[in-house]
Amino acid sequence: YTYVGKQDRKTRPIQVNDITFMIGNTVIPHSDPHLHLAESVTINFGDQKSDIRNEEVTQFNNDDLEFNPVAHWAATVRRIRSYPNFHPSWEVFTFFDGHNFSRITASEMLSDIRAAVRAIGPKVLGFTSNDVGTHSVRSSFAMMAYLAKEPVYTIMLIGRWSSTAFLSYIEPQIKEFTGGVSKRMLTHETFFHVSGATNPSDDTPTDREVFGRQGSLRQRLRK
């Protein structure tokens, strides 16, 4: 999404023509004045360093005023299309200030992220602007999706992780991480130990059958 320099990279930057808006199964042209009202937006990531080509990820319009993927991508497309001599192959980090063209860099993005963190403050977030970087966007997505109880495979597919490496982004020190766990643990207050099963003719339950093995913490707590 941002310009990181001229070094040789396997990852091709996202271009305007990689972005597709749709209503149902109908593609909406970028020139449509109601582009921001599309039902979904799909990004084609082209060649990636993982050697996966033309991987596509779709996000839907959620009607949120701040975190709406369709509205944000529509604004990006409109901004770039408004520049003189526009071409669909232009990268999404292209910027024109009215006089000169430039590229939105990773360092500029980092400045914006840190400014946002300072504005919200550590009392709300629990960390400072010195604790974040450009990769914090991906880690935030993983954490938000996890807290929303999205399945692991959904997080992997949308985040384009080919392995469970994304788990390193899940921060167990987040207060909300264990929300509801202590209550859900009580769903199965007891559990049956199969190896402790007795003869069917013996109807008398044993401590091991119901409360775990002899001497276990669970059994001691029951006494």
Look up residue 167 and give its DSSP letter.
G
For helices 136-147 and 152-159, what crossing angle results, to 10°?
Answer: 150
Per-residue pLDDT of 113-141, as tens digits, reads 999 999 999 998 888 999 999 888 888 88
Beta bridge partner(s), residue 60? 40
Please tell me the distance from the alpha carbon of residue 21 to that of residue 38, in angstroms, as a whole number.
6
pLDDT truncated to tens, each residue of the chain (223 aa)? 677 666 656 677 899 999 999 999 999 999 999 999 999 999 998 766 656 677 888 999 999 988 899 999 999 999 999 999 999 999 999 999 999 999 999 899 999 999 999 999 999 888 899 999 988 888 888 888 888 888 887 888 887 777 767 677 666 656 666 676 666 665 665 555 566 556 655 555 554 445 455 555 555 555 5
Nearest to 77 by CA among 28, 143, 127: 28
Query: Is residue 52 within 8 Å of residue 161, measured between CB atoms?
Result: no
Alpha helices in 9-135 (DSSP H): 69-81, 106-120, 122-125
pTM of whole model > 0.95?
A: no
- What is the b/e burial string over 207-220, where b = at least 16 CB atoms within 10 angstroms of the residue's CB? bbeebbeeeeeeee
Three-state DSSP class for 28? strand
Which residues neighbour 96 within 8 Å (Cβ) at sequence distance 6 or greater? 83, 84, 102
Nearest to 52 by CA among 161, 168, 164: 161
- Other C-beta atoms within 10 Å of 194: how many? 7
Which residues neighbour 190 within 8 Å (Cβ) at sequence distance 6 or greater? 210, 211
Please tell me the distance from the alpha carbon of residue 5 to that of residue 103, in angstroms, as a whole number.
10
Which tokens in the block code for residue 46?
């082209």
